[in-house]
DNA sequence: ATGAAAGCGCTAACAG
DNA sequence: CTGTTAGCGCTTTCAT
């Protein structure tokens, strides 16, 4: 095998390019006694190859340990089978199920999903975008909507299918699967109002979508005549993103110091809500009798907290699945039935509110 | 500009390859009045280009909105500036700081880090590996050590620099930055023993490294004469991975039902520990007087739990930083000063134990 | 400091 | 069903 491998390389060493020393499609072809394009077909369109040829080529692939070079393949076919997801931090539990569903759906369709982090506040976003486009993915999935005008232009110019997720906008770049954060705030306001709460406060992380949930709540509260019960604006505590148990505790402490009469808190994440619940307990304020607490995310600990957290649930897997379908359909030249989908949300009522 | 762009393409349309319709290095070169290779040098070795040429080419790049095609670049240079990280789930909070440090260190050196998920239990690991190798990254960072023999062979054959992390083994594939999970178990056993605890139980997620921490504890406990105080083996509750607050609660409940006399629990993650603490509270068992609880990870909520969690802390950022340096050094042909680093761990003593 | 030629490893297009 | 040929967009090597 030593003599065979690399033999094809010897006769084209004219102006000395050094190659990688690794197995190429030509080596496999030589060993199987076929043309390189046949090996390519075995890999990419096995149905178009005769059974016996298929067998021989596959054996040659195994014997040589050949791993295709997708750089070369992508260059030749402008089809990379790569999809890039742009995420704030890879470790946000809220998005986890979405990334899982994305990964799985893409994997089943033969695509590889890679993740790039922008950091909180979208610091490196534009650079990351160029780095992604430079690899010519077949699709791009964004967390939230793209606000940077430069980013939008780059994406449109690149001509790559794009799905924005976990948010809603009348002007998506391309496709979108998400829901309205403002409406969540409204729904929470109405819920708390219906439970007789009139002195509502907010603990929110300093993050765009969280702020918009808080804004929806503020607006709806005003409409329901709640805001004026306390002050012109709802009492609010803003914590650094991402929200932590500690900032939830601090938030509730702070709000109680400023407004001892509050009877409900809407937290921008379940972690903040857990912190609020723990702080209330440490102060021997009963939840929900003293303060009602509502979270967001319905994370895996929400149901097991003490008391269990009332929270807003979003169908993360559905977002991932639908977003992947959008990209796959477009990448394969099909038309996308629903390029903009609002998956909505639901309020999960538990003991904390 | 319309006429200029794409002009170079017209005269080579012989056998009809269709191209991408996007701006290529040739278009930029034409506009700047230089050879393509000069544009390439502006991008990759600006020091070797005259100032005035540099200016003209950069202007042409801006005007055309050129984004390099790294598939082509990587194919030609076998240097992709891409590093792949293999992670169980992208949303594990334990690893977050490591991934952040990795991303930053690589970005500063001009590399892009992408993440691939294996799923818990390393289900898709071998496939993922081939997908990664197919893109010819300049380096691969693994979470934990590679156990699959096929995977090891593939990686070695690929000749790509590899760093295994967050674990220790006498036989790394290539480079390694981690620590001993067994030793953590030993340290926890000794700590609890020193605090007078003699009836120690374990709540662990069904995950390899967590089990090895539990095993270290078991062995050390036996040596300290603890195991026999209760039974031949330490009472253990095994939860599905990843550990949740709910399984922590259930775990403690279960253990107490079977062994009412236990006076300490070692949990394989802080989330499990938080669950244990909450369950204890719900049962009005004082922590640590009734049961001492020790976690692992020192996550951002550990210090703010009620009571604050005693836990094992690992220097995540250091692992990320060192692992990145290993890859960068190797990718740039330098020798790596320390190809195997044990970063150790520390026990953070707080109120829960 | 800049350019011309060749080719990285693969697949599209066109035969047969 | 299989093969031949050309070329994807870039960078290496060699030359000036």
Mind listing the domains of chain B with CATH numbers?
3-64 (1.10.260), 82-179+317-344 (3.40.50.2300), 181-313 (3.40.50.2300)
CB < 8 Å to B99, chain A = 90-91, 117
**Residue numbers in B 12-31, CB below 7 Å of strand C:** 15-18
pLDDT confidence tier of residue A16, bands split at 50, 70 and 90: very low
pLDDT at A139 over 60: yes
- The answer to whether the CB of A269 falls within 8 A of the CB of A245 is no
Its pTM stands at 0.92
Reference A191, options A346, A35, A6; nearest CA is A346
According to the model, what pLDDT value does residue A6 have?
Answer: 42
According to the model, what pLDDT value does residue B302 have?
Answer: 98
According to the model, what pLDDT value does residue A238 have?
Answer: 98
Min Cα separation B266/chain A (Å): 19
**B213/D7 CA-to-C1' distance in Å:** 56
According to the model, what pLDDT value does residue A3 have?
Answer: 36
**B38/C3 CA-to-C1' distance in Å:** 8
Euclidean distance between CA atoms A209 and A211, whole angstroms? 5
CB < 8 Å to A157, chain B = 65
Residue with structure tokens 């993050």?
A207
Task: Using alpha carbons, list the distances in angstroms from residue A335 to A159, A160, A329.
Answer: 15, 14, 6
Q: Do B71 and A135 touch (CB under 8 A)?
A: yes
According to the model, what pLDDT value does residue B124 have?
Answer: 82
pLDDT tens string A323-337? 999 999 999 889 999
According to the model, what pLDDT value does residue A124 have?
Answer: 82
Nucleotide nearest to A17 in CA–C1' terms: D12
Average of per-residue pLDDT across A269-295:
97
Residues in chain B with pLDDT values less than 70: 1-21, 228-232
According to the model, what pLDDT value does residue A5 have?
Answer: 43
A303 close contact with B: CB closer than 8 A: yes
Beta bridge partners of B236: B202
CB < 8 Å to B20, chain A = 78
The alpha carbon dihedral of A210, A215, A216, A222 has a sign of positive
Euclidean distance between CA atoms B218 and B221, whole angstroms? 5
When comparing pLDDT for A232 and B160, which is higher? B160
Average of per-residue pLDDT across A181-204:
97
According to the model, what pLDDT value does residue B14 have?
Answer: 42
Residue with structure tokens 């030509």?
A26
Reference A99, options A46, A141, A129, A64; nearest CA is A141
Nucleic strand C near CB of residue B53 (< 7 Å): yes
CA atoms within 13 A on the CB side of A259: 21
Using CB atoms and an 8 Å cut-off, which of residues 224-263 of chain A contact chain B? 244-246, 249
**A5/C15 CA-to-C1' distance in Å:** 29
Q: Determine the 3-state secondary structure of B117 from DSSP.
A: strand
Q: Among A8-12, A338-342, B73-77, whose mean pLDDT is lowest?
A: A8-12
B109 close contact with A: CB closer than 8 A: no
Write b or e for each residue in B318-346: b if 16 or more Cβ atoms lie within 10 A of its Cβ, otherwise e. bbbbbbbbbbbbbbeeeebeebbbebebe
B74 close contact with A: CB closer than 8 A: yes
The alpha carbon dihedral of B181, B312, B314, B316 has a sign of positive
pLDDT at A175 over 50: yes
B62 close contact with A: CB closer than 8 A: no
pLDDT tens string A83-105? 999 999 888 999 999 999 999 99
Write b or e for each residue in B70-98: b if 16 or more Cβ atoms lie within 10 A of its Cβ, otherwise e. bbbbbbeebebbbbbbbbbbbbbbbbbbb
Q: Do B74 and A74 touch (CB under 8 A)?
A: no
Average of per-residue pLDDT across A299-311:
96
Nucleic strand C near CB of residue A6 (< 7 Å): no
Beta bridge partners of B337: none
Min Cα separation A227/chain B (Å): 31
According to the model, what pLDDT value does residue A226 have?
Answer: 86
The whole-chain average pLDDT of chain A stands at 92
Task: Using alpha carbons, list the distances in angstroms from residue B232 to A106, A151, B184, B301.
Answer: 48, 62, 21, 35
Task: Using alpha carbons, list the distances in angstroms from residue B277 to A210, A274, A306, B234.
Answer: 29, 14, 11, 20
Using CB atoms and an 8 Å cut-off, which of residues 131-150 of chain B contact chain A? 131, 133-136
Percent of chain A predicted with pLDDT > 90: 86
pLDDT at A78 over 90: no
């Amino acid at each position: 095998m030593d003599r065979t491998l690399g033999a094809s390389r010897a006769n084209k060493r004219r102006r000395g390019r050094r190659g990688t020393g690794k197995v190429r499609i030509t080596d496999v072809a030589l060993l199987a006694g076929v043309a390189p394009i046949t090996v390519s077909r075995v890999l990419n369109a096995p149905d178009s190859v005769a059974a016996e040829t298929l067998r021989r080529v596959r054996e040659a692939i195994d014997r040589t340990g050949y791993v295709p070079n997708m750089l070369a393949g992508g260059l030749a076919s402008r089809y990379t089978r790569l999809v890039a997801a742009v995420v704030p931090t890879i470790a946000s539990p809220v998005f986890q199920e979405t990334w899982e569903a994305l990964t799985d759906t893409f994997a089943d369709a033969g695509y590889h999903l890679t993740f790039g982090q922008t950091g909180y506040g979208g610091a490196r976003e534009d650079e990351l975008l160029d780095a992604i486009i430079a690899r010519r993915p077949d699709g791009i999935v964004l967390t939230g909507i793209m606000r940077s005008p430069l980013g939008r232009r780059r994406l449109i110019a690149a001509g790559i299918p794009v799905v924005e997720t976990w948010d809603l906008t009348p002007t998506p770049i391309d496709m979108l699967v998400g829901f309205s954060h403002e409406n969540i705030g409204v729904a929470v306001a109405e819920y708390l109002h219906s439970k007789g709460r009139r002195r509502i406060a907010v603990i929110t992380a300093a993050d765009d979508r969280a702020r918009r949930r808080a804004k929806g709540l503020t607006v709806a509260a005003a409409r329901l005549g709640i805001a004026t019960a306390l002050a012109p604006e709802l009492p609010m505590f803003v914590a650094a993103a991402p929200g932590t148990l500690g900032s939830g505790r601090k938030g509730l402490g702070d709000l109680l110091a400023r407004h001892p009469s509050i009877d409900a808190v809407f937290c921008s994440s379940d972690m903040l809500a857990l912190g609020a619940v723990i702080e209330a307990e440490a102060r021997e304020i009963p939840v929900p009798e003293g303060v009602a607490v509502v979270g967001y995310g319905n994370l895996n600990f929400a149901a097991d907290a003490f008391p269990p957290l009332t929270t807003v649930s979003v169908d993360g897997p559905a977002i991932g699945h639908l977003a992947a379908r959008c990209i796959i359909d477009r990448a394969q030249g099909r038309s996308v039935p629903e390029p903009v989908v609002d998956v909505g949300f639901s309020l999960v009522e538990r003991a904390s509110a």
